């Protein structure tokens, strides 16, 4: 008796929305405040006055939002900015990190990339990065990828990262490439 043919593996749906929901649940279950770092372009609906370098960090805790929907395609909610309620809509592929404000633990994702299909069509690689708190108040993003790094113009070693300022402080994201 022969076994049935094996169907080719398909890529399936993106894991990003599932990981975002899981880390949001983990944050809230542990009493942490979930923050989303978002890449901002024309597809993202956020208050532009709070956007810096095409990025914004959003508090997505239940205390800071109303009508929060962590969907497979978009994240939508209402939040107050400067005392006025605003409607927020973020495509899931524009989320570049989700982490706990209190300890910096979470996960980072690749930035959305313009596809060959033309402007406005976005694709992204589904290899998440591991977000780990270093020795100090700043966060570091490290890619969790087995792919070889592209050759750089110089083989000189990179200078060491500066030591964090003494006294601690609020965590912040720092992209390490």
Here the contacts of 58-67 (C-beta below 8 Å, separation 24 or greater) are 58/88, 58/90, 59/33, 59/34, 59/35, 59/101, 60/24, 60/34, 60/35, 60/36, 60/98, 61/27, 61/28, 61/33, 61/34, 62/28, 64/33
Q: What is the CATH number of domain 16-143?
A: 2.30.30.220
Residue, of 58 and 11, whose pLDDT is higher: 58
Give the integer Cα–Cα distance in Å for 74 and 25.
17
pLDDT, residue 112, reads 83
Q: Which ranges of the chain does DSSP label H, i.e. alpha helix?
A: 16-29
pLDDT, residue 12, reads 80
pLDDT for residue 1 is more than 70: no
This prediction has a pTM of: 0.62
pLDDT, residue 136, reads 43
User: What integer is the mean pLDDT of 23-39?
Assistant: 96
pLDDT for residue 123 is more than 60: no
The encoded tokens of residue 130 equal 């591991």
Instruction: Count other Cβ atoms within 10 Å, centred on residue 171.
Output: 20
pLDDT, residue 161, reads 52
Domain ranges for the chain, please list them. 16-143
Q: What value does the mean pLDDT of the chain take?
A: 75
Q: Which of 63, 71, 65 is nearest to 32 (CA)?
A: 63
pLDDT, residue 151, reads 43
- First vs last C-alpha separation in the chain: 53
pLDDT, residue 172, reads 60
């Amino acid at each position: 008796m022969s076994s049935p043919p094996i169907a080719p593996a398909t890529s399936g749906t993106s894991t990003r929305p599932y990981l975002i929901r899981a880390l949001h649940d983990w944050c809230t279950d542990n009493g942490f405040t979930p923050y989303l770092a978002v890449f901002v372009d024309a597809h993202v609906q956020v208050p532009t006055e709070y956007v810096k370098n095409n990025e914004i960090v959003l508090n997505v805790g239940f205390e800071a939002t109303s009508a929060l929907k962590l969907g497979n395609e978009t994240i939508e909610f209402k939040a107050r900015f400067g005392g006025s309620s605003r409607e927020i809509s973020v495509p899931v592929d524009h989320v570049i990190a989700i982490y706990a404000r209190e300890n910096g633990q979470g996960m980072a994702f690749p930035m959305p990339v313009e596809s060959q299909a033309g402007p406005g069509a976005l694709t992204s690689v589904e290899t998440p990065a591991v977000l780990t708190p270093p020795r100090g108040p700043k966060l570091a993003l490290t890619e969790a990828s087995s792919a070889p790094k592209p050759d750089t113009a110089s083989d000189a070693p990179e200078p060491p990262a500066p030591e964090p300022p003494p006294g601690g402080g609020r965590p912040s994201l720092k992209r390490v490439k």
